[in-house]
Amino acid sequence: MSDTMTDTRPITAPDTPDEARKKITLYLGLVLGLIVIDQVTKFIVERSLRLYDPVPVLGDFFRLTYIFNRGAAFGIHLGEWSRLAFTILPVVAAGLLFVMYRQTPWRDRTRLVSIALVTGGAIGNLIDRVRSSRGVVDFFDVGFGDVRWPVFNVADIGVTIGALLLAVSLWREEQKLEKEEDVAG
């Protein structure tokens, strides 16, 4: 019987050495892979596109538009504090996500993948903020005419997909715990 006053997480067996090796390989592979793809695409964009000059790929719907984003996702901006805040936030987030990664068992691959994607994306954009006061390089531009989604990059895709997968993983865990409580109750 678990002590619900102190810990509501189910007690699980620790990862075997083989599972721990697979877990770190998955995590580092995804984090580093996403960072490399993100930085390589930004390098190519900076050397092949002109700033603020849209290049149609699928007509007006999908364009490549090289911009700098001093704010955060979806144009969130904190004025003169943006660079500092959006440099500290991903460092703190990466630390918290690493703790979450360490607590996640190998069998929960959805959560492990989600944590790695969010971490890799956060670090990818952090590299831009540290490297340049102009901000993060964004270039994927989707929309119709003047109705456009905020311009984004590969790191943003990783963060978004990772966050969605993390929400699914947490929701599944909650559903499982509720079902177990119903059976026990």
Is 2:10 a contact under the CB 8 Å cutoff?
yes
Pick the catalytic residue: 7, 138, 146, 182?
Answer: 138
Is 42:137 a contact under the CB 8 Å cutoff?
yes
The tally of CA atoms less than 13 A away on the side-chain side of residue 116 is 19
Pick the catalytic residue: 38, 128, 141, 156?
Answer: 156
- List the Cα angle 140/133/61 in 5-degree steps: 10
Catalytic status, residue 156: yes
Is 149:60 a contact under the CB 8 Å cutoff?
no
Alpha helices in the chain (DSSP H): 17-48, 82-103, 109-131, 154-184
For the annotated catalytic residues, the residue numbers are: 138, 156
